[in-house]
Copies of this chain bind each other. A is one copy, B any other.
Amino acid sequence: MTPEHLPHADRYRQGLECLQRVDGPQGVAVVQDLAESFPDFARYLVEFPFGDIYARRSLGLREREIATVAALTALGNAAPQLRVHIHAALHVGCSPAQIVETVMQMAVYAGFPAALNGLAVVREVFLAHGIALPLP
């Protein structure tokens, strides 16, 4: 039975497991904090993005995080979520260089300001992870 066909009742549990695999304890903490003010939305956040989408098997978690880091950098209005997903990209095994390359590439598709603001978030997250810049 593929994850696409799990019974609906398992979506929340599956989403939470997937969220932990993607983002570690930090992801769960974000959801718990959200749930204190907006419990229904916290549930949707677990169920749809993680229980439905990230749990699907045709794309690896590393590729999913590259896609998300690219999109959030390009959109340019989601710095808190970009922070979470640069952390998540590291957590699922993307190399620091892959993350920097993805953000730099957005200069082509969304302009230099979007890429520069994305790199500022990269710098902040890498600092918190003890990843020295510039990369070797």
Contacts and interface: CB of A to CB of B under 8 A. Distances in A.
Contacts of A58: 95, 97-98, 100-101
Interface string A1-30: 000100111011000000000000000000
Copies in the complex: 6
Q: Which bucket holds chain A's interface residue count?
A: 35 or more
A47, A66, A110: most-surrounded residue (chain B CB, <10 A): A110
A86 interface: no
Contacts of A8: 7-9, 11-12
A73 to B, nearest CB: 8
Contacts of A63: 63, 66, 98, 102
A58 B69 CA distance: 16
B112 A109 contact: yes
A40 B70 contact: no
A133 interface: yes
A39 interface: yes
A52 B44 contact: yes
A105 B75 CA distance: 15
